[in-house]
Amino acid sequence: MESTQTTQEDAIGVCVREFYAKARKDDLLGPVFNAKVDDWDVHMRVITNFWSNALLGTGAYKGSPFVLHMNLPIELEHFTRWLALFEDTAKATLPPDLAAKALAKANHMAASFKAGIFPFAGPDGKPSRHPA
């Protein structure tokens, strides 16, 4: 019989694959991902390891995701779309408790990334990459 962790790791792999299958075709997210990722097999392994570590504490990922994202050509609407697509995929592919944990982590990451990438307020009061 498979262990619960193996089953959860399998579900995480399915979630990552399904998310990126959708994201790569998405009108907003697709151009960013497709321009940046050269080897999708490697990317899938890295991201699966990230989520395995984040959700199960496997130690499978070491690194700083923020550094890899801070100079991408992304705007605030990319975060909204990423979260919506990730939420739909996580709820469809992960057990409910793991999906809830993944969504909490994703929302925390999005808030942290937005604060780091858009640390200033523009003249309109909206987050900006540059001081007003």
pLDDT for 70-123, tens place per residue?
A: 999 999 999 999 999 999 999 999 999 999 999 999 999 999 999 999 999 999
Residues 6-57 have pLDDT tens digits of: 799 999 999 999 999 999 999 999 999 999 999 999 999 999 999 999 999 9
What are the structure tokens assigned to 53, written together?
Answer: 């570590």
DSSP 118: S
* Contact predicate 35/102, CB 8 Å: no
Helical spans, DSSP H, in 39-95:
40-56, 65-69, 76-93
pLDDT at 91: 98
Residue 70 phi/psi, 5-degree rounding, is -65, -25
pLDDT at residue 2 greater than cutoff 70: no
**Residue 1: pLDDT band with limits 50, 70, 90:** very low
- All domains of the chain, ordered by start, with CATH? 4-117 (1.10.490.10)
